[in-house]
Structures are given as C-alpha cells and as structure tokens.
C-alpha cells in the first residue's frame, strides 16, 4: 500500500455486484417451523421470503462471487485491488479473516485484507474506512464487501428472530479520482447502551463454546425487538440527515435513499423523518429479509441495475444495527449504471471456489430444523445440496417463475 499524501482526492464507486443463494425460504415455510403466519410477518415487517445458503456455501464464497462481479463491473482485474474490507457478523471462522479467504478466492495477490465488525452498519462503516484510505492516498482501488450467512445463527424455535434474517452478499469497488464525486459526507455513531439489545452470547472470550453454552442456545442471535425498533426509528433519519448536511446538500437533493433492509415500518419512519415520499426509498426486504451487513450493498446493486440511479444523482446509504451502531454516506453517482448487468453476467458462482483446509471437514452446517423444512415440498425446486453427507434428500418441489 502507498503512504498517505495530502493531495485532494475523491473515492468514486466504479464497481458493484451482488450474490444471493438460490434457495428461497418463504413465510409459509416458516409457518411449519414456529407459531407464526404470513399475514403477521408481512404486516409487522414487510418480509415475504428470504434466501438460505446451501451447505457448500459460506460467507466467503458468497462474498467472492459478489466481489468478482463488482470488479468486472469496474472493468478491473482482481490484482488492481489494493485493499479488501469485508463487513460481517457471520465470518467463516474466528480466524483467519473472511476477507483473507475472499482475497485468495478472487485471485488477488496484492491486497491487504481485513474484516470489519459493526453488525448491520458494517458495510457503511467499511465504506467509510475505504473512503478514508483512498482520500488519504493510501489506497487506489478498495473492494468493500458486506456478506452474511445468518441462517446458521438463528434459533428456529424463536419466532421473534428466525423470521427476520436471510443470507447474501454485496460488494462495491471504490476508486481514487481527482474529479469531484463519489462519497461525500459521512456520519457514524455508536451507542454502547444498546450493547445487549442484539447479541450472540456464546463463542467469544466471555463465553467460549461448550456443551453448556450450546445446551442453553447461546450460540444463536438474541434480540430485544421493541428496543431495537425504537432505536432504528429514532436514529436512521437523523444519521442520514447529518451525512446529507455534511455533503452541503438537502434531503430534497437526494434521488434515492438505500436504507438497511430490516423492516418496512422502519424504512417508512425514515421517509417520514426526512419528509420524503416512499418512492425515494429503495426497498427489497420483501425478497431477502434482513441480511445485516449485506443488505445495503445488495440493495445498492439492485437499485443501480434496475435503473433507479443515474449519473449525477445523489444517493444515500444509511444503516443501523447491533452496538447500537448507525452510519450513513452520501454519494454522488458517477459511473454508467448499465455496467452492472454485464458485470453480473460475467461471473458464474460455479466458477468461484474458496479453498478448504487440508485434513479437516466441518460437520453439516445447516441447522436441523432448517434442513428438515427445506427438504419438504415448498416453493422452489433447488436441491439443498449433495456435498454434505447425511443431508436430507430434497423432496419434489413445485417450480414457479
Ligand atoms: C421484531 C418485530 C418485528 C416485532 O414486532 P412488534 O410489533 O414489536 O411485535 P411485539 O414484539 O410487540 O409482539 C407482538 C405480539 O406478536 C407476537 N409475535 C412475535 N413474533 C411473532 C411472529 N413471528 N409471529 C406471530 N406473532 C409473533 C409476540 O409474541 C407478541 O405477542 P403477545 O402480545 O401475545 O405477547 C419488531 O419489534 C422489529 O422489527 N424490531 C426491530 C428488529 C430489527 O430490525 N432487528 C435488526 C436490527 S439490524
């Protein structure tokens, strides 16, 4: 990496890409696991379905596909990237970093690589860090990734959490330029009063994994839904507003907000707080649920590929999450939106592999309750997997377009 230098620079988004697993888990599927129903989930959250990674997929594998798509969209080669920042709360391992696995999987030999831990705000925090590296002159092309495999950390007996989350990955490439544009004002907050509002108790130094922690279900995500909801509705709009103000702009100057996709009612509160119509908010949480750090970059890639962002538009990414954290970045869009679709098409998930360790095989990673329900007749005909021994055979499924 370069040493910092004082010359004025900007960090433009030159590439973007996303990857979501094929397997769909609908609200109706969840009705067969916990005491819930589609109407309740749609009314309280706006979520209709979410994606579930197959047994052979990992946070790193999904991240690598999204990353290569972003790199192709930018018209770059993997070795042009000189820093990889990967935001996740579901890394493949405690160590090495998932960013290091992604570096190897995409064929990069030069970049420094590290993970960023800021839960659902992680991608915005990583983006802000990337912008700082670029504007200081320390990096020229930074790959920023948000990737999560949350369905392996959910308690499928807890209806208040298991309905909310899904799997996926998104990535952007930020590139240095002397031309004004790209990321402008940034705002980030952390409120430690929220530390135990969304948490995963066991597995860390305070409660190392043991038969006891597993018996108590402490390896699953826990959440105080109401407190989290209150924090989100209070904070998202003010965080976004501060980022817009630091860019010398007004909310009415923003073509599209890309909020963290946690709950439609929270997104509606952001629109209300900014006094803007819902048409200015991008929403895809109905399809994917909450994918934590992956939600903003997946939404950004979809928004651009769907023609919702044009060159010259101002766009705001805004997120909140465990910590409590929140973050927002205002971006002046400068890259031809049409490039994204070609970038996506250039990379097939089948061509991307993450190297496995020698002489070690993980246990079946899919939680039993989830594996059982996915093997029953459902909505799509995507085989669960044939890689992991003992996985239930997929039953016949109806295909719908
Ligand atoms: C989780 C959340 C959807 C719950 O909605 P809510 O309106 O607060 O619902 P409540 O928790 O008050 O529960 C209302 C009732 O529905 C029940 N309920 C909870 N989950 C349910 C489900 N999946 N299906 C049916 N009923 C459910 C509760 O048990 C409660 O029943 P009771 O009144 O008999 O006790 C909402 O609090 C939320 O979205 N919070 C923020 C979560 C979030 O965004 N987390 C990620 C942060 S990055």
Question: Does the pLDDT at position 82 exceed 90?
Answer: yes
CB-count burial class (<10 Å; 0-12, 13-18, 19+) for 174: buried
At 109-155, the pLDDT tens digits run 999 999 999 999 999 999 999 999 999 999 999 999 999 999 999 99
- pLDDT of res. 81: 98
Q: Whose CA is nearest to atom 18 of ligand 1?
A: 160
Name which of 137, 104, 176 is nearest 1 in CA terms.
Answer: 137
Question: Does the pLDDT at position 395 exceed 60?
Answer: no
Q: Whose CA is nearest to atom 20 of ligand 1?
A: 160
Let me know: does 165 contact 289? Beta carbons within 8 Å.
Answer: yes
Residues 6+ apart with CB under 8 A from 345: none
- pLDDT of res. 381: 44
- pLDDT of res. 378: 55
Q: Is 260 a catalytic residue?
A: yes
For the chain, domain boundaries: 10-374
- pLDDT of res. 122: 98
C-alpha distances (whole Å) from 286 to each of 28, 41, 126, 261, 394 are: 14, 10, 25, 9, 25
Report how far residue 125's alpha carbon sits from residue 120's, in angstroms, rounded to the nearest whole number: 10
DSSP assignments along 128-192, one per residue: HHHHHHHHTTS-SEEEEEEEEEGGGS--TT-HHHHTTB-EEEEEEEEEEESSS-EEEEEEEEE-G
Let me know: does 55 contact 366? Beta carbons within 8 Å.
Answer: yes
Report how far residue 152's alpha carbon sits from residue 257's, in angstroms, rounded to the nearest whole number: 30
**Band of the pLDDT at 372, cuts 50, 70, 90?**
confident
C-alpha distances (whole Å) from 352 to each of 76, 93, 120, 292 are: 17, 19, 26, 23
C-alpha 198 to ligand 1 mean position (Å) = 14
C-alpha 50 to ligand 1 mean position (Å) = 17
Q: Is 290 a catalytic residue?
A: yes
Report how far residue 154's alpha carbon sits from residue 89's, in angstroms, rounded to the nearest whole number: 13
Question: Does the pLDDT at position 379 exceed 60?
Answer: no
Comparing 195-199, 202-206, 297-301, 378-382, which segment has the lowest mean pLDDT?
378-382
Asked if residue 151 has its Cβ within 6 Å of ligand 1, the reply is no
Out of 120, 141, 305, 314, pick the active-site residue: 120
Mean pLDDT of 293-321: 98
- Residue found under tokens 């900014």: 274
Phi, psi (5° rounding) for residue 366? Answer: -85, 125
Question: Does the pLDDT at position 20 exceed 70?
Answer: yes
Count other C-beta atoms under 10 Å from residue 275's C-beta: 9
- Residue found under tokens 């996303």: 18
C-alpha 43 to ligand 1 mean position (Å) = 11
Superfamily designation of domain 10-374: Thiolase/Chalcone synthase (3.40.47.10)
Question: Does the pLDDT at position 393 exceed 90?
Answer: no
The mean pLDDT of the chain is: 92
Let me know: does 152 contact 367? Beta carbons within 8 Å.
Answer: yes
């Amino acid at each position: 990496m370069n040493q910092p230098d004082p010359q004025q620079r900007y960090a433009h988004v030159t590439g973007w890409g996303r990857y979501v697993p094929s397997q769909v888990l609908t609200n109706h599927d969840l009705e067969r696991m916990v005491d819930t129903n589609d109407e309740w989930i749609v009314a309280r959250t706006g979520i209709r379905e979410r994606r579930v990674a197959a047994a052979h997929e990992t946070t790193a594998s999904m991240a690598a596909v999204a990353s290569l798509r972003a790199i192709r969209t930018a018209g770059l080669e993997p070795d042009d990237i000189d820093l990889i920042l990967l935001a996740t709360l579901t890394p493949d391992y405690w160590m090495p970093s998932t960013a290091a696995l992604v570096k190897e999987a995409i064929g990069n030999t030069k970049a420094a690589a590290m993970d960023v831990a800021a839960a659902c705000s992680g991608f915005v925090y990583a983006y802000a860090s990337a912008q700082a590296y670029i504007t200081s002159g320390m990096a020229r092309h930074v790959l920023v990734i948000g990737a999560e495999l949350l369905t392996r950390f959910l308690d499928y007996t807890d209806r208040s959490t298991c309905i909310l989350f899904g799997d996926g990955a998104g990535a952007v490439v930020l590139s240095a330029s002397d031309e004004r544009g790209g990321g402008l004002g940034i705002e980030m907050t952390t409120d430690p009063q929220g530390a135990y509002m969304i948490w995963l108790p066991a597995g860390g130094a305070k409660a190392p994994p043991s038969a006891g922690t597993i018996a108590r279900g402490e390896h699953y995500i826990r959440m105080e839904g109401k407190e989290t909801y209150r924090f989100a509705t209070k904070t998202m709009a003010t965080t976004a507003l501060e980022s817009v103000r630091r860019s010398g702009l007004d909310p009415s100057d923003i073509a599209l907000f890309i909020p963290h996709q946690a709950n439609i009612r929270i997104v509606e509160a952001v629109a209300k707080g900014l006094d803007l119509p819902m048409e200015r908010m991008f929403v895809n949480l109905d399809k994917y649920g909450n994918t934590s750090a992956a939600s903003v970059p997946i939404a950004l890639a979809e928004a651009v590929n769907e023609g919702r962002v044009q060159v010259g538009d101002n766009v705001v990414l805004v997120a909140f999450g465990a910590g409590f954290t929140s973050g927002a970045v205002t971006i002046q869009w400068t890259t031809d939106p049409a490039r994204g679709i070609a970038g996506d098409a250039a990379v097939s998930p089948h061509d991307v592999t993450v190297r496995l360790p020698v002489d070690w095989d993980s246990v079946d990673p899919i939680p039993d309750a989830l594996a059982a329900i996915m093997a029953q007749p459902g909505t799509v005909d995507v085989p669960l997997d044939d890689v992991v021994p003992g996985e239930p055979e997929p039953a016949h499924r109806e295909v719908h377009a």
